[in-house]
């Protein structure tokens, strides 16, 4: 047993996990690799290791794998041409490539529009441009997390170089009408580039870019059952960007570096499986999410749904537990082997309340005790039942040690 394993395993073994299994409800942070994806990858990690750019016959199979994955990802995006698909290493790289790459082609215009609820890979990229003299407008959302389209419309100017809006939010699951937003952007300024962070939409809702005016969409393989370390960027044929990574001719000169064939092949397979499972996602995963949501709201007196927006991805719910600390809830859930999150994966571990929930104006009393549950097609009904069963007992324990007894009693009386 290695040093690392010795350090990590005792705390894991302490968990009172039913059937020695955990219940993974943090699929917006990352997902398990589908067995079929792994099987697709293995040949390129073993015998078929040739560089796909090489001229000899040995390179033909990996080159073909790359070609096939590009077609699958094209179909996943609902794009017209596989030449519009560029492989990257992750969602963050896709966003950086799109934003920095397009602004570099249009240096005279110094205005950017984004939202107050973007993932840090977009938010912090926009902030870095603010430091370089760009003006950035951050569009707000209402209490359900729904974007203010009138505000967005009013901010588009002659010198707006870029608008960046996420397809679905990682914390509350709210879906933005990106096709409609593209129309708004282009009708106000046909030269403004529109980037969509599609990371949390991928695999959860159909993504059809063909008949839209969206210029670019980024995705990340590990959010839809491919491994970490691979992503993609759709770039509409008419959209110009400059590369972030200079070097060889790979990815049509826009992203140098020998292609990560096993991971790209894996993501191609994951995209194909996601398309096959889309109906299941939209019906069965949604049914389990709705059951979990309703069960907790019914049984836990201090719970509140942070967004009941009509358009939400089918796997996500964000529930606030008033007057209780989110970190304590996560630790107690973890004792039952239940994995959830108290914010985006990147901010959990910090006690800062989520910028998304703050932008929604979630009351202070629930801000620190908000938990995101995000399901996948691998979750079972029995797992959801167990969470519904355990949640009241956890909350009973935690409300007893809360310093807000008077407020909790009032809440109890109101229920």
Q: Where do contacts with ligand PLP occur on this chain (CB under 6 A)?
A: 90-92, 119, 121, 166, 170, 197, 199-200, 220, 231, 344-345
Are 386 and 336 in contact by the 8 Å Cβ rule? The answer is yes
- Number of residues in the chain: 415
* Beta carbon of residue 345, minimum distance to ligand PLP (angstroms, whole number): 5
* 98 or 319: CB nearest ligand PLP: 98
* Whole-number Å distance between alpha carbons of 319 and 126: 29
Are 192 and 214 in contact by the 8 Å Cβ rule? The answer is no
User: Around Cβ 214, how many Cβ atoms within 10 Å?
Assistant: 29
* Beta carbon of residue 218, minimum distance to ligand PLP (angstroms, whole number): 7
* 167 or 323: CB nearest ligand PLP: 167
Buried-exposed string 342-353: b where 16+ CB fall within 10 A, e elsewhere: bbbeebbeeeeb
* Beta carbon of residue 169, minimum distance to ligand PLP (angstroms, whole number): 7
* Beta carbon of residue 170, minimum distance to ligand PLP (angstroms, whole number): 3
Q: For 2-125, list the strands marked E by DSSP.
A: 23-24, 85-88, 111-115
Are 328 and 402 in contact by the 8 Å Cβ rule? The answer is no
C-alpha dihedral (285, 286, 287, 292), degrees to nearest 10: 90
* Beta carbon of residue 271, minimum distance to ligand PLP (angstroms, whole number): 15
* 115 or 365: CB nearest ligand PLP: 115
Are 112 and 126 in contact by the 8 Å Cβ rule? The answer is yes
* 374 or 402: CB nearest ligand PLP: 374
- For ligand PLP, which residue has the nearest CB? 91
Nearest to 242 by CA among 96, 68, 80: 96
* Whole-number Å distance between alpha carbons of 358 and 122: 18
* 52 or 231: CB nearest ligand PLP: 231
* Token digits of residue 57: 């016959």
* Beta carbon of residue 168, minimum distance to ligand PLP (angstroms, whole number): 7
* Token digits of residue 256: 């140098």
* 342 or 399: CB nearest ligand PLP: 342
346 is a catalytic site residue: yes
* Whole-number Å distance between alpha carbons of 30 and 227: 9
Question: Active-site positions?
Answer: 346
């Amino acid at each position: 047993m290695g040093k690392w394993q010795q350090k990590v395993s005792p705390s894991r073994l302490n968990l009172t996990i039913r059937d020695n299994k955990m219940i993974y409800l943090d699929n917006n942070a990352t997902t398990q690799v589908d067995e079929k994806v792994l099987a697709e990858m293995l040949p390129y990690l073993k015998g078929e290791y040739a560089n796909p750019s090489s001229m000899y016959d040995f390179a033909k199979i990996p080159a073909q794998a790359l070609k096939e994955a590009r077609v699958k990802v094209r179909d996943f995006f609902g794009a017209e041409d596989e030449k519009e698909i560029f492989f990257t290493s992750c969602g963050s790289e896709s966003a950086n490539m799109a934003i920095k790459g397009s602004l570099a082609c249009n240096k005279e215009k110094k205005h950017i529009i984004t939202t107050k609820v973007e993932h840090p890979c977009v938010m912090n990229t926009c902030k870095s441009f603010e430091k370089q003299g760009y003006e950035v407008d951050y569009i707000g959302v209402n209490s359900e997390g729904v974007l203010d389209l009138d505000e967005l419309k009013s901010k588009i100017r002659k010198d707006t170089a870029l608008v960046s809006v996420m397809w679905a939010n990682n914390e509350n699951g709210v879906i933005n009408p990106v096709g409609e937003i593209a129309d708004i952007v282009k009708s106000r300024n046909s030269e403004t580039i529109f980037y969509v962070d599609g990371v949390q939409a991928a695999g959860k809702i159909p993504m059809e870019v063909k008949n839209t005016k969206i210029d670019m969409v980024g995705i990340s393989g590990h959010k839809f059952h491919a491994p970490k370390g691979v992503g993609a960027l759709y770039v509409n044929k008419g959209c110009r960007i400059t590369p972030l990574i200079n070097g060889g001719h790979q990815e049509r000169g826009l992203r140098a570096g020998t292609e990560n064939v096993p991971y790209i092949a894996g993501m191609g397979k994951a995209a194909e499986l996601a398309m096959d499972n889309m109906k299941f996602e939209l019906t069965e995963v949604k049914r389990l999410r709705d059951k979990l949501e309703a069960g907790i709201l019914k049984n836990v007196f201090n719970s509140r749904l942070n967004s009941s927006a009509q358009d939400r991805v089918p796997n996500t719910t964000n529930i606030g537990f008033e007057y209780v600390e989110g970190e304590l809830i996560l630790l107690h859930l973890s004792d039952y082997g239940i994995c959830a999150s108290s914010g985006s994966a990147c901010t959990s571990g910090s006690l800062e309340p989520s910028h998304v929930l703050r932008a929604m104006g979630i009351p202070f009393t629930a801000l620190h005790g908000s938990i995101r549950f995000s399901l996948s097609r691998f979750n079972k009904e029995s797992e959801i039942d167990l969470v519904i069963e355990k949640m009241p007992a956890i909350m009973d324990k935690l409300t007893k040690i809360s310093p807000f007894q008077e407020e909790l009693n009032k809440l109890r009386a109101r229920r």
